[in-house]
Structure 1
Amino acid sequence: MPELVDLDPARQKEIIDLEKAQEGQDYFALLGLQPGAPVEDVKQAFVEAALRHHPDRYAGLNLGTFRARIERIFRRIAEAHSVLSNAEKREAYLRANPRLRGAPSSAAPGGAELETPLVGDEERRAERQARLTRHPYLARTHRLTELLTRGRASMARGDFEKAFADLNQVVALDPKNREATSLLAEVRKKHDEQRSKLEMQRALELEKQQDLPKALECYRKASSLDPQHAEAAFRAARLAKALGLEWNEVRIHAQRAVDVSPDSVPYRLLLAQVLLEGKAGNLAKRHLEAVLKLDPKNAEATALLRKSRWPF
């Protein structure tokens, strides 16, 4: 009985018959090829099979038990393509199955092999290739592969802006592409770290020139782009404090520096000072005690700790 799925009975029968027919077939037969078929024909046959049997063709349909059948069919086809299109894997497979090396169509005297292609074979192959390259599914696949390749190459060169643009297009075209999503997150992080370093360098130059407001803005950007950049957060807190900005902003920057680098004595001292100014003596005391554990002879921490206990 035909199953109640979004496939007509004829297609259901075709899938069942194909799955059965695949059992025990060699890799060439799985792709509908003669033994020993060249790599070019293997690739061509795989493209045609993918257009017909790729699970993505059935996206959004109720397939029931046929989903597993379709996935098994395509998995076997993909496996055959993977082996027969790779020189090393193909040779190992043929060594294990010498009968599949194929036979020459004719032979010349002395054992030299001659091929006698059928008239029109090349024309038909070229026409079929041109037709397939115009197919929307194949064109989309080719575009995704091209963008992924370019994105990886740009990442390797350190051109993160270009990599981001290409990988972002891949995700827009194929939101479920895990590789592109992972690479995009990585490239975004590296791009932000790269920009953070540039903002940090600019901030240091501006601070030397005593342009403190602009330097503070660059420190803020550096810290925002790379939340793990402890020095950027520390310098932003220090400058914000010197310029008399809002207490809470100073505290946020100082706290971030300590969170990222808790064993830094200068960072803890600055945060303690900020907390004391904000009447948060108990919190300041904890940081000062941490400083003295790191540096027992730190005179500034000792003085501030005394002040936190006896503010008068």
Structure 2
Amino acid sequence: MPELVDLDPARQKEIIDLEKAQEGRDYFALLGLKPGAPVEEVKQAFIEAALKYHPDRYAGLNLGTFRARIERIFRRISEAHTVLSNPEKREAYLRANPRLRGGPAPSPVPSGLEEPLLGDEERRAERQSRLSRHPYLARTHRLTELLTRGKAAFARGDFEKAFADLNQVVNLDPKNREATALLAEVRKKHDEQRSKVEMQRGMDLEKQQDLPKALESYRKASSLDPHHAEAAYRAARLAKALGMEWNEIRIHAQRAVDVSPDTVAYRLLLAQVLLDGKAGNLAKRHLEAVLKLDPKNAEATALLRKSRWPF
């Protein structure tokens, strides 16, 4: 008996018959194609199947058990398309199933038939163009194109381009987990790359004795990459030399030590900053840590003496 769902009995029978017919079929047959069909035909067949069986086409309908049937049908169709439209996967599949490579090349077109065949080709191209303008397929194609481009840009280190493409994917499809995860990774790599640029710029400006601009570059580098200890250290050192606000100096110096606690220079600078801020007890702990790392460090010894007897 037909199920009480938002599908007419004929449509229900069509879906049931197709699901059964898919069992044991090869990928070409799943798409209704002859063995060895070219990639262009594979893509066209998938587009036509997607228009009928993509689960999104049935959103909001009461489908009962047919929802699972439709999802299984489309999953097999998608699997066939993924393999047969990818050169490497297709070749591997054909090596495992040599009988599916197709028969001999077709015979030459008899004289006098060229014109009708040309008309068939034009009609096929027109139909494909019309299908490509379907809103759902156009959106799906756009998302796939952007995601592929974003991955390629990420792989070659063009993080700015990757960010732009992946950000568009997330804006168009906020539930796309792959794009969201990739975007977070790209943003991190992009910021790290920009941090390195700002760090080098700061070093160049410092050599030119343009200390205010050098400090600004070190600040940016540290902000873009909070794990860049050297950028934080240089920002603290220049901020101290330029007489900037004590708390800003302390924040940069503390960040450098947090990221790289075993670097003597970072500990010494933080201790000096803490002494300037009358935080002798905190400074003492850092100086003692320096002397554990470098027992003969004269500067740490002198500062430790000062922290105990400030007079």
In the superposition, the TM-score normalised over structure 2's length comes to 0.83
d(CA) in 2 for partners of 1:209, 1:83:
59
* Alignment check: 8 A CA contact 2:237 2:249 kept: yes
Which residue is 1:20 aligned to? 20
Task: State the partner residue of 2:289.
Answer: 290
Task: After superposition, give the CA deviation of every residue in 1:262-305 in whole Å (9 maximum; x if it has no partner).
Answer: 11101011111222233333322222122111111111112222
Superposed displacement of residue 252, structure 1: 0.8
Contact 1:272 1:285 in 2 (8 A): yes
Q: Distance in 1 between matches of 2:208 and 2:95?
A: 73
User: 2-side partners of 1:299 and 1:167: how far apart?
Assistant: 53
1:160 equivalent in alignment to 2:159: yes
2-structure distance, mates of 1:163, 1:96: 36
> Residues 279 and 84 (structure 1 numbering): CA distance in 2 closer, same or farther, change over 3 Å?
same
Equivalent runs, 1:63-102 vs 2, <5 Å: 65-87=65-87, 89-90=89-90, 93-94=93-94, 97=97, 100-102=100-102
The letter of the residue matching 2:260 is S
Query: When the two structures are aligned, how many residues end up with a matched partner?
Result: 305
Partner of 1:206: 205
> Aligned AA for 1:275?
L
Instruction: Let me know the Cα RMSD of the aligned residues.
Output: 3.0
**What is aligned with 1:110?**
none
How far did residue 258 of structure 1 move? 0.8
Residue-by-residue CA offset, 1:90-136 (whole Å, 9 max, x unaligned): 45545655654555697xxxxxx456787543233212211112112
- Secondary structure (helix, strand or coil) at the match of 2:126 reads helix
Deviates more, 1:115-124 or 1:45-54: 115-124
1:274–1:45 distance in 2 versus 1, CA, 3 Å: same
Cα offsets for 1:205-243 (capped at 9, x unmatched) = 333343332222221111111112111111111122222
In 1: Cα distance, 2:176 partner to 2:203 partner: 41
Aligned counterpart, 2:33: 33
Give the C-alpha shift of residue 190 in structure 1: 2.6
- After superposition, the Cα gap between the structure-2 partners of 1:309 and 1:132, relative to the gap in structure 1 and judged at 3 Å, is same
TM-score between both structures, scaled by the size of structure 1: 0.83
Q: Distance in 1 between matches of 2:272 and 2:61?
A: 64
Equivalents in 2 of 1:62, 1:223: separation in Å? 55
Residues in 1 aligned to 2:301 and 2:130: alpha-carbon distance in whole angstroms: 81
**Structure-to-structure mapping, 1:43-192, within 5 angstroms:** 43-59=43-59, 65-87=65-87, 89-90=89-90, 93-94=93-94, 97=97, 100-103=100-103, 113-114=107-108, 119=117, 120-156=119-155, 158-192=157-191
Task: Give the Å deviation of 1:251.
Answer: 1.1
Asked whether the 8 Å contact 1:28–1:80 carries over to 2, the reply is yes
Report if the CA contact (8 A) 1:268-1:288 is conserved: yes
Letter in 2 for 1:251: R
Q: Counterparts of 2:289 and 2:85 in 1: how far apart (Å)?
A: 63
* Match in the other structure for 1:246: 245
Gaps of at least 5 residues in structure 2 are none
Identity, in percent, stands at 86
Instruction: Judge conservation of contact 1:231–1:257 (CA < 8 Å) in 2.
Output: yes
Residue pair 2:218, 2:235 contacting (<8 A) in 1 also: yes
Task: Structure 1 unaligned segments of length 5 or more: list them.
Answer: 107-112
Q: Are the structure 2 counterparts of residues 221 and 296 from structure 1 closer, same or farther at C-alpha, using a change threshold of 3 Å? A: same
1:301 equivalenced with 2:284 (yes/no): no
The 2-side partners of 1:64 and 1:158 are apart by: 47
Letter in 2 for 1:263: D
- Would you say the 8 A contact 1:105–1:115 is kept in 2? no
